[in-house]
Amino acid sequence: MIVNEKIAIDHGLKKDEYDKICELLKRTPNITELGIFSAMWNEHCSYKSSRLHLKKLPTKGKKVIQGPGENAGVIDIEDNDALVFKIESHNHPSFIEPYQGAATGVGGIMRDVFTMGARPIANLNSIHFGSPQHKKTKNLLRGVVHGIGGYGNCMGVPTIAGQTSFDSSYNGNILVNAMTLGLVKKDKIFYSKAAGLNKPVIYVGSKTGRDGIHGASMASASFDEKIEEKKPTVQVGDPFTEKLLLEACLELMAGDSIIAIQDMGAAGLTSSSIEMASKGNLGIEINLNKVPCREAKMSPYEIMLSESQERMLIVLENGKEEQAKKIFDKWNLDFAVIGKTTKSKKIELYFDEEKVADIPVNTLVENSPMYDRKWKKAKLPKKNKIKKEDTKHLKIIDVLKKILANPNVCSKEWIWQQYDHTVMGDTIQKPGGDAGVVKIHGTDKAVAASVDSSAVYCWSHPLTGGKQVVCESFRNLISVGAKPIAITNCLNFGSPENEENMGEFVECVQGIGEASEYLKFPVVSGNVSFYNQTKDEGIKPTPAIGGVGLIKNYKNMITMEFKEVDSLVLVIGKTEGHIDQSLFARNILDEKNGPPPEVNLFNEKNNGETLLKLIDNNLIKSAHDVSLGGIITAVAKMCIKGKKGINIKKPKYLINEIEYFFAEDQGRYIIEINKKDFKKVADILNKNAVHFDELGAIIENELYINDKTKVTIDELSTSNKSWLTKYMSK
Amino acid sequence: MKSAVITFPGSNCDRDMDVALKKFGFKNKMVWHADAELPKSDLVVLPGGFSYGDYLRCGSMASKSKIMQSVINFANSGGMVMGVCNGFQILVETGLVPGVLLRNKYLEFICKNIFVKINDKQNKYFKNINIEVLKFHIAHNEGNYFCTNDQLKEIEDNNQIAINYCDENGKIEDQFNPNGSIKNIAGIFNKEKNVLGMMPHPERMIDISLSGEDGSLFFKNLINNLK
């Protein structure tokens, strides 16, 4: 087949990109080469629209061992232990084929982590669906949950936390973001940088099939009505093989024969071989006849672009082949020497003794396109004035019950009960709390992780929204008693070719950067997913932040359920009464305009660090951050989980009850303390200039407001727990 | 006391079981599925996981692996063999314990704490345990125990039911049955009661900071009974 401009455009390349390829090669590429360029230069692999902006994120810190640019980020958690983690999107395939899309998303991110030598110890996910009323939502939700469970459960890695939301902007583009944390010894981290000449290049894992060809290109385009036809671009997962691959790789890594290792994820053999060569400033020569194939007569083009799962590429020390092969034989996995490193700085592919590709590595990587896309700055919307007559008829308890049953607030037990969250025997905080917590096996240390996003705030004002998500992650970690260390981000947006969407991206990234800089909460890994768009309709901007923190002694972990009758309950942080963009405004008043709550980074940091001090002094019995639904929703959840009641008294602020209870001002936590500790707690809070309110005392079974209105906790619990189960059983 | 935990390709609770056995005083050895001989053991455990990916049928391929002939011989000569979760599924495939394990009634994987009532204490697993109801933990997709009426009669006549799903007070009712098992069966013995298969994971309940501590009670009691 002779390559021409039309074929290039069918491969998702733009005309000028094709011209650039011809110019770089000083000739017309053949079809295999064109396939390789299209795979490397698509948005998903090249970050061509985002690179310019991602460079501005803070990525360094005392605890950062490896920032963005490797398979995953790595942080130091002392005693020669390090944590490897990353979040990644699998949005497009999950919409087309929810089970396999979600499953391979989980498989892919776990591979990224164990490629670096780390044993995965926890999985998390952030999943977003269209309106519950939309005809596709239920099946997509069921498929995604089954897929995540199917893969993670079989791998024997606990799924310890997550986030699920519903919004009509995801009707045509759901989001499936998967995050994995792994544990490694600091001196046994593996990287993808090839080194040395004539080193054997080894292929291990599953055989290569025809699945997933052009997966990365599919994930770099908007959807239209013919999207169902893209089903063959979705990869098929085999978690059993991945479990074997994990054990085999870790067994090989225990020795000293690996120079570099890279998993075959998006764009398969193409991107893995090129990345290793590029990082090592070397060339790689591959004989494609040596690649283990599942099907007969696969062409070089298909072999290079297949996204078959559960495969790894390794550069080995000379003479270690036999020893390595033995390990893979033991685990019944393919092992093939397919090529070697060369000094040519080119990717040279041979098939049937003919050279089928000959491309300088730098043309694919350094010379890949980078765009400074046009973007539009968002204006801060004007504040709404809530009229008294709009809220006069509302009864706080009725509103609270409605909010607790709201799809975005209700209990997600139906989902996380399908994930094995206790395997590995180290899970000390299960899903349903502020963050999941697992012990570092055999030590007193524990690691907390949470994944958060606030699409509504980001949509309303991207800069504030970007900051807010990082702060929320910070708060969730602090609420369980962990010191926040670093984040990974998954940036889900519409088309970068649309100025507004691009503006949302640029400003969210700016907000994320500002907050993570201020909070000393650097970004160590991440992923960008653009084109979450069907025709002209993009999703709400949804940056998801995966935060990781450390608890030095797991016995000091905090949980959110109220513990004891007679304890005092306080609110840390000032309530200003910000209602715009709150769950209350959007769902009860049906008011969708106005700015999101302001983020004050000084208060976030100060309030959070002061709470950590209180925790260190053993003064906190339970804690929970205030987010969707405001103070009363947070308190109600603590009551439900602890099966205790509370008598709440609204402090004598100027703001009214509705504003006090439902506002979503930032930087706030609810804490439970022993009555006798009140003075000590108040002293520490005052000394650190942290505002606090006394909310009331814990009682049995009922929630009272100002001594009068009341509701039983059972009733609140039913509101909170029944929506999702009912929805899924209909 | 010596124990052995078999690792099959796809086992994923083998380490957890190793940790639990050692915590309560067993000298445990990990044994690879392709080995022919069992080390000298007082207890052999088939752990949870997804042996051979649960392809074909859960436990089916593992039941034919090389080590299993030794395990079967060991069991038939009176040796203590315990299968947990996938281990239980492997046991039913070998025929060491009767019945089969079907897909959960609601077709979904379930991971949660449950209660089980001990049905029989005339055996080395539960003898002397001074509690009737245990808070255990399940995590499975195929734990729906089923057998024929004739088998059920035989199981009941021989008192082979080990534990039943129940509430915290030991009430055995349909609403406390998480997966649709016949008679709320969560674990059964062979006729001689040296082989126990059960769906719950006692090894995940061995520390107050985890899901609970009733697993500790179980293992402490078990090692004492074997002494």
> What are the pLDDT digits (tens) for B150-184?
999 999 999 999 999 999 999 999 999 999 999 99
CB distance from A156 to chain B under 8 Å? Answer: yes
Q: Is B30 on the interface with A (CB under 8 A)?
A: no
Please write the tens of the pLDDT for every residue from A602-637.
Answer: 999 999 999 999 999 999 999 999 999 999 999 999
Percentage, residues of chain B above pLDDT 70? 100
Q: By C-alpha distance, which of A690, A665, A686, A669 is closest to A620? A: A669
Give rounded-to-5 percent helix, strand, coil for chain A: 40, 25, 40
Active-site choice (A90, A128, A421, A578): A90
pLDDT at A234: 78
Token readout for B136 is 């255990």
Contact A153 B50 (CB under 8 A): yes
pLDDT at A219: 66
Beta strand B80-84 pairing with B195-198? parallel
Domain that holds residue B132: 2-226
Q: In what order do the strands lie in the sheet with A702-705?
A: A622-625, A669-673, A568-572, A692-699, A645-648, A702-705, A709-712
Is A172 in a helix, a strand, or coil? coil
SS3 of A274, please?
Answer: helix
| Confidence label for A215 from pLDDT (cuts 50, 70 and 90) | low
* A283-287 and B133-140 strand pairing: unpaired
| Residue A709 pLDDT level (bands cut at 50, 70, 90) | confident
Chain segment A186-202, per-residue pLDDT in tens:
999 999 999 999 999 99
- Alpha-helical segments (H) within chain B: 14-23, 66-76, 86-94, 149-157, 214-226
Average pLDDT score over residue span A569-578? 97
Q: Give the pLDDT confidence score for residue A485 in this predicted structure.
A: 98
Gyration radius from chain A CA atoms: 26
B93 lies within 8 A of chain A by CB: no
B201 and B48 in contact (C-beta within 8 Å)?
yes
Q: What is the pLDDT of residue A216?
A: 63
CA distance A42 to A20: 14
How is residue A59 annotated by DSSP? -
Query: For A178-185, what is the mean pLDDT?
Result: 98
Distance, CA of A425 to CA of A267 (rounded, Å): 36
**To 10 degrees, the CA torsion angle through B128, B213, A180, A670?**
160
Q: Give B158→chain A minimum CA distance, Å.
A: 34
Please give the full DSSP string across A293-340, using - where no structure is assigned. BSSTT--HHHHHH---SSEEEEEE-TT-HHHHHHHHHHTT-EEEEEEE
CA–CA distance, B136 with A149 (Å, rounded to integer): 21
Say yes or no for a CB contact (<8 Å) between B53 and A418: no
Question: Which pTM does this prediction carry?
Answer: 0.96
Quick one: tokens of A27?
A: 């000739």
User: Best mutation site among B109, B136, B142 for testing chain A: the one with the most A CBs within 10 Å?
Assistant: B109
pLDDT confidence of residue A623: 98
Nearest-by-Cβ selection for B9 from A244, A430, A554: A244
CB contact at 8 A, A328 and A334: yes
* Tokens 């054990």 found at: A247
**How buried is A236 (Cβ within 10 angstroms: 0-12 exposed, 13-18 middle, 19+ buried)?**
middle
Give dist(CA A644, CA A675) in Å, integer. Answer: 16
Q: Which residue of A119, A148, A240 to mutate against B (max B Cβ within 10 Å)?
A: A240
Q: What is the pLDDT of residue A210?
A: 87
As a whole number, mean pLDDT of residues A387-407 equals 92
Cβ B211 vs Cβ B205: under 8 Å: yes
pLDDT at res. A707: 81
Catalytic (active site) residue B147: no
**pLDDT over 80 at A220, yes or no:** no
> Is A441 annotated as catalytic?
no
Structure token pair of residue A508: 């969210």
Cα–Cα distance for residue pair A436/A351, rounded to 1 Å = 49
A420 → closest Cβ in B52, B108, B139: B139
**Confidence at residue A715, expressed as pLDDT on a 0 to 100 scale:** 97
Token reading at A170: 């995801």
Q: Which token pair is A602? A: 């000084």
pLDDT of residue A224: 75
Query: What ipTM score was computed for the predicted complex, to two decimals?
Result: 0.96
Is A233 a residue whose pLDDT tops 80?
no
Question: Would you place residue A212 in the very low, low, confident or very high pLDDT band (cuts 50, 70, 90)?
Answer: confident
Is the pLDDT reported for residue A271 higher than 90?
yes
CB A577 within 8 A of CB A637: no
Overall average pLDDT of the A388-410 stretch? 94
Residue A711's H or E segment, with its range, is strand A709-712
| Catalytic one of B140, B142, B166, B203 | B203
Query: What is the average per-residue pLDDT within A247-265?
Result: 95
Catalytic option among A11, A44, A214, A421: A44
Strands (E), A115-189: 119-129, 159-166, 175-185
Average pLDDT over residues B9-17: 97
> Cβ neighbours of residue A80 under 8 Å, at least 6 residues apart?
A185, A186, A187
CATH (domain of B219): 3.40.50.880
The pLDDT, as a whole number, for residue A536 is 84
Residue A645: per-residue pLDDT: 97
Radius of gyration of the CA atoms of chain B, in A = 16
d(CA A726, CA A38): 45
Give the β-pairing of B133-140 and B110-118: antiparallel
Q: Out of B13, B58, B85, B147, which one is annotated catalytic? A: B85
Q: What is the largest CA-CA distance in chain A?
A: 86
Tens digits of residue pLDDT in B172-218:
999 999 999 999 999 999 999 999 999 999 999 999 888 789 999 99
Chain B nearest-CA residue for A555: B209
pLDDT at A213: 80
Helices (H), A117-190: 137-155
Cβ-nearest to B53 among A240, A417, A426: A240
Handedness of CA B143, B149, B155, B157 (dihedral sign): positive
Looking at residues A255-275, what average pLDDT do you find? Answer: 93
The shortest CB-CB distance from A154 to any of B20, B50, B204 is to B50
Q: Give the pLDDT of residue A218.
A: 64
Query: What residues does A163 pair with on adjacent strands?
Result: A126
Provide the CB-side half-sphere exposure for A488 (13 A, CA). Answer: 36
- Of A2-6, A168-172, A347-351, A627-631, the least confident: A2-6
Nearest CA in chain B to A427: B210
Residue A236: band (very low, low, confident or very high) from pLDDT cuts 50, 70, 90? confident
DSSP letter at A534 equals E
Residue A507's contacts (CB-CB under 8 Å, 6 or more residues apart) are A377, A378, A462, A463, A466
Q: What per-residue confidence (pLDDT) applies to A535?
A: 84
Q: In the predicted model, what is the mean pLDDT of residues A121-133? A: 98
The average pLDDT across A137-142 equals 98
Taking residues A482-490, what's their average pLDDT?
98
Q: Which DSSP letter does residue A227 get?
A: G
Report how many domains make up chain B.
Answer: 1
pLDDT-above-70 percentage for chain A: 99
Rounded to whole angstroms, how far apart are CA atoms A429 and A408? Answer: 21
Where is pLDDT greater, at A459 or A212? A459
Measured in Å, how far apart are chain B's first and last C-alpha atoms? 7
Mean pLDDT of chain A: 95
Q: Which residues pair with A315 in a beta bridge?
A: A201, A260
B201 catalytic, yes or no?
Answer: yes
Indicate the residue of B50, B108, B211 with minimum beta-carbon distance to A422: B211
